[in-house]
Amino acid sequence: MLPDLEALVDRVLDLAEGAHPQPFPLILLVREYKTTGRSDVAALVEQALAGALAVYGDGESALERARWLQTFVEAIAVSDDSRLFDAAGALAQSLAADWPNATAVDETAVSIDACLLASHLFEADSIVRDAIDVLERIVGGSYIPGDGVGHPIHRGGSARGSLADHIYLASALVSAFHVSGRLPYSMLAEELVQTSRGSLSGESDFLPSCEAVRVMGRLAALHDDAQYRAAAVTSSVDYRAEAARLLERLAERLDDDGANIALYGIALGEWRDASEGTK
């Protein structure tokens, strides 16, 4: 049985009170405020965003900066603070500046994904173009048909990459499809998820497993589109059902050290909203 989302939100709200701002809790709480308008959530979100704007770029990795970009994109929908827009633009430029020297599939994929998801906010043709180019470089350098991707972008003879490499790249490929309309991107995303299904036991890394739920939800939405099904080569997998089973297994680990309750809540909320939308 899946946990109650509102109870998870309340747990995250308690944990976030007085704590250093973090991207996933902020995203979950921003979404809760958008849905419910709760005043207690609004107060904490306002305080946490002020803290985040003071620290978001200080010596952080590309992965951390990408998470902050995702957070500010969400927050812009509920706040008229112009600093969020400025911060999102600065982060996108910062992430794009890293791409020529990028070496790791997982971190670079999250960076690309964040920039593509933010591209609607500003004139970002060059960033989108560069993001697609780097995505092509990752696929060309690290992807082997039937064996997925490695961890290095220039794979050479290295072994198959981690679950994070595959799931984060799949998410970026789905975003690239939505921006470009190029079917090979979403079809490759589905292949990467397919080749990762054996690793999604619920015992694998918690964060990429939660992200796998989100990617499967996005693939399910594509499968719902008759025009997409007619144009693309798709599998017969029921991704919403698989995502629900994975959520159930991950729910057993919510009290473990290293479990990110907020990211789980984000994944659960997206699955719930999509499932309700298909009824």
Mean pLDDT in residue range 210-217: 97
| 204/186 Cα distance (integer angstroms) | 24
**pLDDT value of position 55:** 84
Q: What is the pLDDT of residues 83-112, one digit of tens each?
A: 999 999 999 999 999 999 999 999 999 999
**Dihedrals φ, ψ of 154, to 5°?**
-95, 90
Confidence of residue 42 (pLDDT cuts 50, 70, 90): very high
- Whether residue 78 has pLDDT greater than 80: yes
Q: Which residues, listed in sequence order, are joined to residue 144 by a DSSP beta bridge?
A: 148
| 108/71 Cα distance (integer angstroms) | 17
**pLDDT value of position 46:** 93
**pLDDT value of position 156:** 86
- Whether residue 258 has pLDDT greater than 90: no
**pLDDT value of position 166:** 97
**Dihedrals φ, ψ of 169, to 5°?**
-70, -40
**pLDDT value of position 256:** 83
Which of 67-71, 72-76, 100-104, 155-159 has the lowest average pLDDT?
A: 155-159
Q: What is the pLDDT of residues 106-160, one digit of tens each?
A: 999 999 999 999 998 887 788 999 999 999 999 999 999 989 999 999 998 889 9
Domain boundaries, the chain: 5-277
CA proximity to 214, closest of 178, 247, 237: 247
**pLDDT value of position 160:** 92
Mean pLDDT in residue range 20-29: 95
Mean pLDDT in residue range 159-188: 97
- Report the predicted TM-score, pTM, of the whole model to 2 decimal places: 0.95
- Whether residue 201 has pLDDT greater than 80: no
Q: Left if phi > 0, otherwise alpha if psi is -120 to 50, otherwise beta: which for 148?
A: left
Q: Does domain 5-277 have CATH number 3.60.21.10?
A: no
Distances (CA, A) of 143 to 72, 136, 264: 31, 10, 28
Mean pLDDT in residue range 41-65: 89
- The percentage of residues in the chain with a pLDDT greater than 90, rounded to a whole number, is 84
